[in-house]
Amino acid sequence: MKAIVKMDSKGRIAIPKNIREEVGLEPGNLVAVYLKNGKITIEPLESTADEYFGVCKVEKWPENLDEFIMEALRKWWTSQNM
């Protein structure tokens, strides 16, 4: 599947709906962007929440587990590099 899209002045592109649906992308999902040999590849990332849901028994999950984990990692990384 191929689509031609236009980049806006802030460097953003919109992934066409049919492609988003095909790969299961929803608002807020994370994607990896790779540059290799002058070509850009965008790849959907698996949700950490989906991978670990049900592994831990907790009373209340954070609203967005992926953002919660990323923030915890940022705090840990900052504390390690001080």
Per-residue pLDDT band for 55 (boundaries 50, 70, 90) equals: low
Report pTM.
0.55
Q: What radius of gyration do the chain's Cα atoms show? A: 17
Kindly compute the dihedral angle of the four CA atoms of residues 56, 57, 63, 69, in this order, to the nearest 10 degrees: -30
- The pLDDT score that the predictor gives to residue 52 is 61
pLDDT at residue 53 is higher than 70: no
Ranges 2-6, 15-19, 26-30: which has the least confidence: 26-30
Structure tokens belonging to residue 21: 């649906």
Burial 59-78 (b: 16+ CB within 10 A, else e): eeeeeebbeeeeeeeeeeee
Render pLDDT for 57-72 as a digit per residue (tens, 0 to 9).
666 767 887 888 888 8
Per-residue pLDDT band for 13 (boundaries 50, 70, 90) equals: very high
For residue 64, give the DSSP letter: S
